[in-house]
Structure 1
């Protein structure tokens, strides 16, 4: 088989064509790369729009954040002022009026505590209750025992009342002691007040050193509510 030889001139032209093609291909890749880079940059710039939104969010957050603590501070100040203006102190014996009334249940007495002060006051827990006979403070009986009822904090405004229950087991032997008054000490107080029972005086068995036959509930009983 014969091999046909290509003239030297033709070889030179072909080589030149290949070189041009290679250059064109390189330019195309470069252009493509440039275009891609441009597109990426543009996309990133658009993402920068998101970043602007982020800055807006940051700005908003910053603005909100800066006004937030300030607002929070103002809110705290207002809250503190409100708490100060509405806060209540412990009820004092000197600012309470005491009275006794029937509860509507046999062998129970309601002791009412009315706030006679100019501001709110609070009580929590059991009052101290000692029985007093008809002969006055020298004629005292046992202290009332506490029931197992749960205590809650009670707040009363000026002119408002709260109350507690006193329960007793009446004497049936005929040799018991009659008590016509109660010496009442509000929860967390040391000063007591005498409460006249009037027609609610009761007779219980003489104390034998065991638990007395009189029991007291914590402050907070409301007539008609059962608690």
Structure 2
């Protein structure tokens, strides 16, 4: 009887062992069956993120290109800023100031000096166009050649013309205009231009090489043209709202 019980126990153990082995094999089959799926999923994910990475890389390249372009623009602005910083700049143009000859309506009186009444000549005391450290001043004297007394009040319109024909309309300073009265023959009024001179062959900054200048008296619509007599070049800040080259109001 005891021998029979022992055989039954051994058989039961053998059956359990077989069941365990079968379960283990099934588990192995299940794992190996899911492994390719996971691998495939990972491959799919990797391919997707690979594509995403490529896409992202392309996007990054694109944004890098954009950044590089922006960087280039910023670099150009930085060069201009550095060119401005290397000068001892006393003042700069007023942000958002006008570039024409229009002034307050109160200044547009019937007694104002018209372009045809005035004679324009370069004043004594030339700017040093070789000095690229200090802000320079070029002035034009206005003489009343008319038969009547007239007044000037406000900012003139000033346009620089380069040797290549490029036009630069100068912005205004923040100075407050005063009324200038010119009797016949008087030459007590002038237009002054603050400027930043740089070498004409400058490579780190953009030079504007002036050839002519056009001046429109305050509230007039016609201009006169003078040749630029000083040579040299000006730091090109066309389009800047706070440039170091600008026009001042008509004054003494």
TM-score w.r.t. structure 1 length? 0.52
Superposition RMSD in Å: 2.3
Structure 2 residue 219 is the aligned partner of structure 1 residue 193: no
Within 5 Å, which residues of 2 pair with 1:133-152? 133-134=162-163, 139-152=165-178
Alignment correspondent of 1:94: 116
TM-score w.r.t. structure 2 length? 0.47
Count residues with an aligned counterpart.
131
Contact 1:130 1:140 in 2 (8 A): no
Alignment correspondent of 2:139: 110
Aligned counterpart in structure 1 of residue 197 of structure 2, from 154, 170, 188: 170
Name the larger-Rg structure.
1
Alignment correspondent of 2:157: 128
Alignment correspondent of 1:153: 179
Q: Which has the higher strand share?
A: 1
Alignment correspondent of 2:233: 203
Structure 2: stretches of 5+ with no match in the other structure = 1-108, 129-135
Q: Distance in 2 between matches of 1:105 and 1:201?
A: 10
Contact 2:168 2:238 in 1 (8 A): no
Q: Which has the higher contact order (CA 8 A, sep 6+)?
A: 2
Structure 1: stretches of 5+ with no match in the other structure = 1-86, 222-227
